[in-house]
């Protein structure tokens, strides 16, 4: 068995950010979720809905006759709104009661398909007990930008704001889509409010803009492959709006602790395309390796172009489509746990869906990849094919239990009928799946992996409220396809454990974990407890 493992490992190197904890695969569609990833959220929280109503109460009379009837002027209200108002018949129309009526109608409109509305209780004679409520279901009349606006072009914000004013009446889809896109602009935070407009049914949206300064983050993780000793450190710098409004530039530098086993540097830049949420991203990277206790030096260069478009963008549901082309030129570089020489190119397309409703959040994605024999692509023809085809799938779910606990499920799979190049294989072992094992201990042509985690947050409030203690179990199965004299072979692994995540708002994070295998990948594997430590510190200079 040991001989088979050694040969298979020699044939099957792999790298994968989500599975091997290496920075060289940053942004690759088959490694990352192409929709908002939820794995770093302590609890599933839906994106907060912006206000959808402008309301005003002008009438009030504590001595008036109790309300006998409520008549709506301006439009026919949805049945759910009328039902909410009926509950106030028989109550005296004092100021507090009328404010509660408006609040109840507002909450009911939130359960209707109407996106924007105004509710006005005008000054009137209430002695008869007949109450008139003026209701308008309308449109965005204008968008006013406040906050950090001086000296900024605001071109992208204004373009999205203009899309909000084109539709009459404004649909919920349009309102959620473009307000969410404004919130999605890298480095921008917004606070939104509504005011009554000057035209019938019109409202004005007031957006207070808060732009972030550049961010620098430093991190350490002692999880590594067998070819890296003691762990790795990483620094990431993010700069917002460098060339155009909406741009994001990210510089990543990563290294082994001894600055010898590996050194990596990469830069990526993304920019908006048009005014409907499309983005174009480009990235390049360079990796230099000299594994621990080895005299073999190697290097790898990466490049990638990705275009993404939000088909659906809302407060609770999101559907995105992405297309990319990327490549890697590896010359004796340590990719994951194996040293490999290959030049590969691939085109990819991904579809991802995410949903967050109350206490439940989930995301699911499917990614297809096709190897392309262009730009000097080359692999060992005895062990791989440049024209490979493969399909990846990923799933994530968070379910809040009570006020302090959350259940997390994660799954990932890869399918192919082709012997894959090293950089395209499915790897397990490390932070995502196989936590008690070395990073990328197994990497194969196809496989599947799953994880279940139950976390408890003992701190109820304050900056340390996201902190948690957790327990988990994971399992994986990978398969090496036949190559020449080597037959098709499958291996399993599984582990369980627990840990602590100490989190200070979004500025600092410390993770301590202990895990032990319960299913060894092969008979000679040494089963023992693995202790992992990682930290991250974010600075805004």
Q: DSSP for 344-401, please give it.
A: EEEEEEEEEEEEEETTEEEEEEEEEEEE---TT-B--TTT--TT-EEEEEEEEEEEEE
Task: Give the angle subtended at the CA of 447 by the CAs of 488 and 534, to the nearest 5°.
Answer: 130
pLDDT at position 187: 93
Portion of the chain with pLDDT greater than 90, in percent: 61
Q: Would the pLDDT of 234 be above 80?
A: yes
| CA atoms of 138 and 114, how far apart (whole Å) | 9
Query: Which residue in 491, 454, 480 sits closest to 469, CA to CA?
Result: 454
Q: Look up tokens 């030129």; give the residue.
A: 329
With a CB cutoff of 8 Å and minimum separation 6, the contacts of 246 are 156, 185, 186, 271, 272
SS3 content of the chain, % helix, strand, coil (to 5): 10, 50, 40
pLDDT at position 384: 86
Name the pLDDT band for 12 (thresholds 50, 70, 90).
very low
CB 167 within 8 A of CB 103: no
Query: Which residue in 395, 354, 343, 388 sits closest to 368, CA to CA?
Result: 388
Q: Would the pLDDT of 18 be above 60?
A: no
Q: Looking at per-residue confidence, does 447 or 193 come out higher?
A: 447
How high is the mean pLDDT of the chain? 87
| CA atoms of 328 and 237, how far apart (whole Å) | 23
Task: Give the angle subtended at the CA of 404 by the CAs of 398 and 410, to the nearest 5°.
Answer: 20
Q: Would the pLDDT of 125 be above 60?
A: yes
| CA atoms of 254 and 264, how far apart (whole Å) | 5
pLDDT at position 151: 86
Neighbours of 40 (CB within 10 A): 9
Q: Would the pLDDT of 135 be above 60?
A: yes
Q: Looking at per-residue confidence, does 484 or 528 come out higher?
A: 528
Name the pLDDT band for 180 (thresholds 50, 70, 90).
very high
Min mean pLDDT across 23-27, 370-374, 423-427 is at 23-27
pLDDT at position 8: 34
pLDDT at position 469: 97
User: Strand (E) positions, 110-226?
Assistant: 117-121, 130-137, 139-147, 188-196, 202-211, 215-221
Own/partner contacts of 507-511, CB < 8 Å, gap of 24 or more, are: 507/537, 507/538, 507/539, 508/535, 508/536, 508/537, 508/538, 509/534, 509/535, 509/536, 509/537, 510/534, 510/535, 511/535
Neighbours of 287 (CB within 10 A): 24
Q: Do β-strands 405-416 and 446-456 pair in parallel, antiparallel, or remain unpaired?
A: antiparallel
- The DSSP result for 483-499, as a single string, is BTTBPPEEEEEEEEEEE
**Coil vs helix vs strand at 510:** strand
Q: Would the pLDDT of 39 be above 90?
A: no
pLDDT at position 21: 56
Q: Any idea what DSSP says for residue 75?
A: S
Q: Would the pLDDT of 277 be above 80?
A: yes
Query: Which residue in 425, 417, 520 sits closest to 476, CA to CA?
Result: 520
Q: Look up tokens 């088959």; give the residue.
A: 30
Q: Which helix (H) or strand (E) holds 105?
A: helix 95-109
Span 140-148, mean pLDDT? 93
Residue 265 to residues 424, 433, 534: CA-CA distances in angstroms?
A: 21, 26, 20
Q: Is omega for the bond preceding 296 within 30 degrees of 0, making it cis?
A: no
Name the pLDDT band for 1 (thresholds 50, 70, 90).
very low
**Residues in a beta bridge with 340:** 333
CB 98 within 8 A of CB 59: yes
Q: Look up tokens 């028989």; give the residue.
A: 90
Residue 109 to residues 103, 173, 321, 471: CA-CA distances in angstroms?
A: 10, 15, 31, 41
**Residues in a beta bridge with 406:** 400, 455
Q: Looking at per-residue confidence, does 541 or 75 come out higher?
A: 75
CB 285 within 8 A of CB 316: no
| CA atoms of 520 and 497, how far apart (whole Å) | 15
| CA atoms of 130 and 126, how far apart (whole Å) | 6
Q: Would the pLDDT of 423 be above 50?
A: yes
Q: For the domain 2-46+213-539, what is the CATH code?
A: 2.40.160.50
- For 426-439, b/e burial (b = at least 16 CB within 10 A) is bbbbbbbbbbbbbb
Q: Would the pLDDT of 264 be above 80?
A: yes
Query: Which residue in 191, 240, 235, 232 sits closest to 213, CA to CA?
Result: 240
**Residues in a beta bridge with 139:** 202
CB 455 within 8 A of CB 404: no
| Structure-block tokens of residue 499 | 């840990």
Name the pLDDT band for 23 (thresholds 50, 70, 90).
low
| Structure-block tokens of residue 294 | 């080895």
Domain ranges (residues) in the chain: 2-46+213-539, 47-212
pLDDT in tens, 78-99: 889 999 999 999 998 888 899 9
């Amino acid at each position: 068995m040991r001989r088979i493992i050694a040969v298979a490992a020699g044939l099957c190197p792999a790298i994968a950010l989500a599975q091997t904890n290496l920075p060289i695969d940053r942004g690759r569609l088959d490694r990352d979720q192409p929709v908002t990833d939820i794995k770093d959220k302590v609890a599933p929280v839906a994106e907060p809905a912006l206000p959808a109503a402008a309301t005003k109460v002008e009438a009030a009379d504590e001595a008036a006759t109790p309300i006998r009837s409520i008549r709506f002027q301006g439009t026919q209200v949805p049945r759910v709104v009328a039902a909410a108002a009926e509950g106030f018949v028989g109550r005296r129309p004092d100021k507090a009661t009328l404010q509660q009526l408006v609040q109840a109608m507002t909450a009911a409109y939130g359960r209707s398909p109407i996106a924007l509305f105004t509710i006005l209780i005008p000054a009137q004679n209430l002695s008869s007990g007949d109450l008139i409520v003026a209701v308008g279901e309308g449109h965005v009349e204008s968008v006013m930008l406040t906050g950090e606006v001086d000296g900024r072009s605001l071109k992208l914000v204004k373009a999205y704001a203009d899309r909000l004013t084109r539709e009459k009446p404004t649909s919920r889809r349009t309102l959620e889509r473009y307000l969410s896109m404004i919130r999605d602009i890298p480095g921008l935070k917004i606070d939104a409010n509504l005011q009554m407009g000057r035209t019938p049914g019109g409202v004005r949206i007031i957006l207070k803009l808060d732009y972030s300064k550049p961010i620098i983050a430093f991190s350490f993780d002692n999880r590594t492959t067998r070819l890296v000793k003691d762990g790795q450190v990483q620094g990431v710098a993010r700069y917002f709006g460098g060339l155009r409004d909406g741009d994001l530039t990210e510089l990543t530098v990563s290294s082994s602790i001894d600055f010898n086993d590996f050194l990596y540097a990469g830069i990526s830049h993304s920019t908006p395309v048009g005014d409907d949420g499309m983005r174009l991203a480009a990235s390049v990277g360079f990796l230099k390796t000299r594994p621990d206790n080895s005299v073999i030096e190697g290097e790898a260069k990466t490049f990638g172009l990705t275009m993404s478009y939000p088909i659906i963008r809302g407060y609770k549901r999101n559907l995105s489509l992405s297309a990319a082309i990327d490549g890697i030129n590896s010359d004796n570089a340590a990719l994951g746990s194996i040293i490999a020489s290959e030049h590969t190119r691939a085109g990819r397309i991904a579809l991802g869906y995410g949903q967050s409703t109350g206490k439940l959040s989930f995301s699911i994605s499917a990614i297809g990849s096709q190897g392309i024999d262009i730009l000097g692509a080359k692999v060992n023809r005895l062990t791989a094919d440049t024209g490979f085809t493969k399909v990846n799938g990923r799933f994530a779910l968070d379910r809040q239990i009570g006020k302090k606990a959350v259940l997390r499920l994660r799954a990932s799979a890869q399918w192919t009928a082709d012997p894959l190049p090293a950089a395209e294989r499915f790897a397990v072992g490390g932070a995502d799946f196989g936590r008690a094992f070395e990073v990328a201990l197994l990497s194969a042509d196809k496989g599947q992996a799953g994880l279940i985690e139950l976390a408890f947050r003992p701190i109820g409030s304050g900056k340390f409220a996201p902190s948690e203690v957790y327990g988990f179990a994971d399992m994986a199965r990978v398969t090496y396809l036949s190559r020449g004299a080597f037959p098709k072979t499958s291996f399993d692994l599984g582990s369980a454990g627990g840990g602590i995540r100490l989190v200070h708002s979004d500025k600092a994070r410390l993770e301590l974990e202990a895990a032990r295998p319960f299913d060894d990948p092969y008979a000679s594997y040494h089963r023992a407890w693995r202790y992992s430590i990682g930290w991250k510190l974010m600075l805004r200079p």
